[in-house]
Chains A and B, each alone.
Chain A
Amino acid sequence: MRTLGYFAVWIALILATLLQLVIFGGVKASNLRVISIMVLAWLQASLVVFFYQNVLKEPKGVSMLYLASFLTGSGLIIGMILSITHAME
């Protein structure tokens, strides 16, 4: 049962990457292309985190801290981008 699940995730990961490549080759550079490629990347990452790393089967503290570290990292990135002044001279 577990083996089947692992294979299913693997197929989903491969398909997502293929889809990324198809979108990349088929759509002209645009915000839509960037967004759809990144959404797929997020999807892939969550598949690995939830089904390979099995984070939900760990104590709640682990998933909470995973989230906290992720928020910390995102906070830094968002702060860096926001700090770029928009009133360019």
Chain B
Amino acid sequence: MDSSLTRWLFTTNHKDIGILYLVTSLYFLILGGALAILMRIQLMLPNNQFLSAGPFNQAVTVHGLIMVLWFLSPLAFAFANYIVPLQIGARDLAFPRLNAMSYWFYLFGGLLAAVGFFTPGGAIDTGWTVYAPLNTLNYSRQLGVTLGGAGLLMLIASVTMGTVNFLVTIFRLRAKGMSLFKMPMYSWGILLTVFMMLLAFPSILAGVIMLVADRLLGTLYFLSNEGGAILWDHLFWFFGHPEVYILLMPGLMAIAEIFPVFARRPLYGKRILIFAAIIGSAMSFIVWAHHMFVTGIDPGFRKFMTITTEAISIPFGIITLCLILTLFRASIRFKTPMLFALGSLALFIVGGITGVFNSSVALDYNLRGTYWIVAHFHYTLVGGATGGLIAALYYWWPKMTGRMYSERLGKLHFTIYMIGFNLLYFPMHLLVDMPRRVAVYSEEGSLWLNNYLSTIGSFIFAISWIIFFLILLKSLRNGKRAESNPWGSWSLEWMVPSPPPYHNFDVNPEVESDGTIKVINANGGSVESETHNVHLSKGPLMVALGTFLALLGVSLSIFILLIGSIIFAIALFGWAKENILGRFVIREPEVGERWPFSSICNMKLGVWFFLFGEVVFFSSILGGYLFIRANSTSWPILGEVFDLKLASINTFLLITSSLTAMMALNFIRKGEQRGLKLGLLLTFALGLLFLINKGIEWEELFKHGFTPSSSLPATIFYTTTGIHGAHVLAGLIVLLYLLVRAYKGGFSRENYDSVEYFDMYWNFVDVVWLFIFPLLYLI
């Protein structure tokens, strides 16, 4: 095995990337955990002087952001990357380079957010919820908040890429006979997780873009009373509540994966459990306002959200009960993965029950903003989600490293973990009178005892993690060699050696109708094994690095921005060159289970999924506009105030460019190269004219004093048309690539797919404009 630096920097193999995710997420766990310990030391005694309020707020915020976005989900995606392709019988993810890029965006995003600690004023300190208007420049001048926003942007980009990739992989790369219902539970968990991610992250993206615009361009989204706190609340929690289930689902499904193996019985009610999980995931999109019960939103709306929130416990209750029923009349073996699975299910039940309390508007009037809430979500997200993933880590560790860990030490880890956890978080339930995120509390009352106990618990909990890391290191140094199936599991990843060979399977696996999985083991097969070098690419790392520097530059200095942009451009160019040279042509296996997407190719399906995310993104942007407008007493109709001519011309330009794009596609379908070139050129020209015309329009409006910070209508006008313009620009860049390819004769009657993908995107951009035009100018 090649273990050079080049391998890790330029790899596109799913198992390598899985390991990168694992190492990075555990690194962020240490960082977030250290911050938590600092907080607990400060809160150990009343009126403590260990941390002052500034650093304390930074610790609170960065702890939350890191644990939620840079530790928990990425840990789940470490296994998703490593295990899911194996489980479904694939050689790799559908888009390996995109997968690598997703990892690098995640890493650099985290660095960008953490860089804030070294700037004057420190890191972002607004709480992980980044509530408005504290997040605006007026109340938080420090660079750290802008950098936090930039880090979030990179993370969201990473999530989007990962989401599209996993959806296409799970839908299209399953082995023959591996129907959706036959998939192992962890793959199901990831499928539902990425679905929720696809539809939830766009709304926070919209929110962060508005925030960054407020901070850098002086727009008024979150400073205004019409938008402000409630607008942020909506955009944040519309993402934030599904996010809770995004964090939970992989852990819960890891438990569902582990229980049957160690209980030696099949999962009870696999179908019931899967249906419940699907319903729960869908419902997670209609409960978000329970985070806003006390903000004074409409009472009827609140009652609706109370009922949906209490109802969402039904599917999760069913999942829990199915899991427990699996143990009935079983023959349970208490290895470390099973202990963690059992423990984390028990803790999740506690967190789930306290969650029902929070769903009540009435109880929320007192519980809101207190340590009760902190206790609740740590029971679910640490106890339930993290515990489930730690169980998964012990479970798949032998597969990923080829080494066993010490069972004795694993059990010690579990014991100390449970004691520490409960001592740390249980007393928080009793701190109903203590506000969250206070750095100091007074001696009066009885707050100190529970805080003291909690801090002691946090030390014990920290020790359990030290033991955990020692177990891992010891196993890597001198752990026993692992067999290919140490636990007596059934699924595909256990049918290949530990660790699996580079290309996973010599021959594509198959599932027969009686449920027998057929796979010819590596080493036994005949296909020549591929080496790492075939699939190394510099593109992903360089694009991410360029983006990182560009975003850092936007916040710090033009010079860094320039370097970043140059790297970005060169990297994109290299990427396109790899495409034109035909490297990274991913062979799709001829046979496989692809319901319900059998008659569509991977790339096209990927573009579709991306566009679905975009639908929610533009809905969020336009939703922000409609919300602000509904809150305003008067609103000028732009078409009546300013000249409509330029905007109308733009509508005609864009509509026509859609036609020319379709004509280009039509020509190449018939193999007519000249028509293709003409069509693409015309589309490019029309798109360019659209942008130029837009520039003229903006300049005109600027002359009238209609600047982004002059009024709310102006804020919304520039942001909305600006984001749309950016989409047009991105389309033009892709179009440039298509033109180069077209002139090099890269398309033919059989090979015109990229033109088709471009058309799908371009038509979508057109549709968005068809809404923006009337909404902004005419009504």
A and B touch in their complex, CB below 8 angstroms: yes
Interface size class of A (residues with CB under 8 A): 35 or more
Residues of B within 8 Å of A52, CB to CB, are: 658, 662, 759, 763, 766
B616 contacts A by Cβ under 8 Å: yes
B576 contacts A by Cβ under 8 Å: no
Please state if B298 and A86 are interface contacts (CB–CB under 8 Å). Answer: yes
Supposing A24-B639, A75-B286 touch, asked if A83 and B301 sit within 8 A by C-beta, the answer is yes
Residues of B within 8 Å of A6, CB to CB, are: 659, 662-663, 666
Supposing A65-B612, A83-B292, A85-B299 touch, asked if A49 and B767 sit within 8 A by C-beta, the answer is yes
Give the distance to chain B from A89, nearest Cβ to Cβ, in Å.
10
Number of interface residues of B (CB under 8 A): 69
Give the distance to chain B from A83, nearest Cβ to Cβ, in Å.
4
> In the complex, how many residue pairs between chain A and chain B have their CB atoms under 8 Å apart?
161
Closest to B200 in A: A72
Query: For the complex, would chain A's binding face be called helix, strand, loop or mixed by DSSP majority?
Result: helix
Please state if A10 and B655 are interface contacts (CB–CB under 8 Å). Answer: yes
B652 contacts A by Cβ under 8 Å: yes
Supposing A7-B659, A77-B619 touch, asked if A83 and B230 sit within 8 A by C-beta, the answer is yes
Interface mask (B622-653 → A, CB under 8 Å = 1, otherwise 0): 11101100110000010110001000100110
Rounded to whole angstroms, the CA-CA distance of A76 and B420 in the bound complex is: 40
Instruction: Say which residue of A7, A34, A53 sits within 8 Å of B764 (CB atoms).
Output: A53
Please state if B655 and A83 are interface contacts (CB–CB under 8 Å). Answer: no
Please state if B779 and A34 are interface contacts (CB–CB under 8 Å). Answer: yes
Rounded to whole angstroms, the CA-CA distance of A68 and B615 in the bound complex is: 10
A45 contacts B by Cβ under 8 Å: yes
In A36-82, the 8 Å CB interface with B consists of: 37-38, 40-41, 44-45, 48-49, 52-53, 58-62, 65-66, 68-70, 72-77, 79-82
Residues of B within 8 Å of A85, CB to CB, are: 296-299
Closest to B300 in A: A82
Please state if A17 and B666 are interface contacts (CB–CB under 8 Å). Answer: no
Residues of B within 8 Å of A80, CB to CB, are: 231, 234, 623-624, 626-627
Please state if A3 and B297 are interface contacts (CB–CB under 8 Å). Answer: no
Give the distance to chain B from A60, nearest Cβ to Cβ, in Å.
6
Please state if A41 and B770 are interface contacts (CB–CB under 8 Å). Answer: yes
Please state if B600 and A59 are interface contacts (CB–CB under 8 Å). Answer: yes
Query: For the complex, would chain B's binding face be called helix, strand, loop or mixed by DSSP majority?
Result: helix
In B573-596, the 8 Å CB interface with A consists of: 596
In A1-50, the 8 Å CB interface with B consists of: 2-3, 6-7, 9-10, 13-14, 17, 20-21, 24, 29, 33-34, 37-38, 40-41, 44-45, 48-49
Please state if B619 and A53 are interface contacts (CB–CB under 8 Å). Answer: no
Please state if A37 and B774 are interface contacts (CB–CB under 8 Å). Answer: yes
B618 contacts A by Cβ under 8 Å: yes
B118 contacts A by Cβ under 8 Å: no
Please state if B774 and A38 are interface contacts (CB–CB under 8 Å). Answer: yes
Closest to B770 in A: A44
Closest to A53 in B: B763
Supposing A10-B655, A37-B779 touch, asked if A21 and B771 sit within 8 A by C-beta, the answer is no
Rounded to whole angstroms, the CA-CA distance of A21 and B645 in the bound complex is: 10
Give the distance to chain B from A16, nearest Cβ to Cβ, in Å.
9
Supposing A33-B779, A66-B612, A80-B623 touch, asked if A13 and B655 sit within 8 A by C-beta, the answer is yes
Residues of B within 8 Å of A24, CB to CB, are: 639, 644, 778
Closest to B647 in A: A21
B275 contacts A by Cβ under 8 Å: no
Give the distance to chain B from A1, nearest Cβ to Cβ, in Å.
10
Residues of A within 8 Å of B659, CB to CB, are: 6-7, 9-10
Residues of A within 8 Å of B648, CB to CB, are: 17, 21
B289 contacts A by Cβ under 8 Å: yes
B191 contacts A by Cβ under 8 Å: no
Please state if B655 and A17 are interface contacts (CB–CB under 8 Å). Answer: yes
Instruction: Say which residue of B300, B619, B644 sits within 8 Å of A76 (CB atoms).
Output: B619
Please state if B619 and A72 are interface contacts (CB–CB under 8 Å). Answer: yes
Please state if B600 and A76 are interface contacts (CB–CB under 8 Å). Answer: no
Please state if B626 and A14 are interface contacts (CB–CB under 8 Å). Answer: no
Residues of B within 8 Å of A76, CB to CB, are: 203, 234, 238, 616, 619-620, 623
Instruction: Say which residue of B230, B608, B662 sits within 8 Å of A58 (CB atoms).
Output: B608
Name the residue in B171, B619, B766 with the highest tally of chain A Cβ atoms < 10 Å from its Cβ: B619
Interface mask (B737-779 → A, CB under 8 Å = 1, otherwise 0): 0000000000000000000000110011011001101110011
Rounded to whole angstroms, the CA-CA distance of A20 and B774 in the bound complex is: 8
Interface mask (B490-512 → A, CB under 8 Å = 1, otherwise 0): 00000000000000000000000
Supposing A14-B652, A41-B774, A85-B296 touch, asked if A61 and B597 sit within 8 A by C-beta, the answer is yes
Closest to A77 in B: B623
Closest to A51 in B: B662
Rounded to whole angstroms, the CA-CA distance of A20 and B334 in the bound complex is: 70
Residues of A within 8 Å of B663, CB to CB, are: 3, 6
Closest 10 CB pairs of A and B: A73-B619, A69-B612, A61-B596, A77-B623, A83-B297, A10-B659, A69-B615, A80-B627, A85-B298, A34-B779
Residues of chain A touching chain B, judged by Cβ–Cβ distance below 8 Å, are: 2-3, 6-7, 9-10, 13-14, 17, 20-21, 24, 29, 33-34, 37-38, 40-41, 44-45, 48-49, 52-53, 58-62, 65-66, 68-70, 72-77, 79-87
Cβ contacts A to B, 20 pairs, < 8 Å: A6-B666, A7-B659, A24-B639, A24-B778, A37-B779, A49-B767, A60-B596, A61-B171, A62-B605, A65-B609, A69-B612, A73-B616, A73-B619, A75-B286, A76-B234, A76-B619, A83-B289, A83-B297, A84-B631, A87-B299
Instruction: Using A41-B770, A69-B615 as known contacts, list a sample of 18 further A-B pairs with CB atoms less than 8 Å apart, ordered by residue number in A.
Output: A9-B659, A13-B770, A20-B774, A38-B779, A40-B774, A41-B771, A41-B774, A45-B767, A45-B770, A52-B763, A59-B599, A59-B600, A60-B596, A65-B608, A65-B609, A66-B611, A69-B616, A76-B203
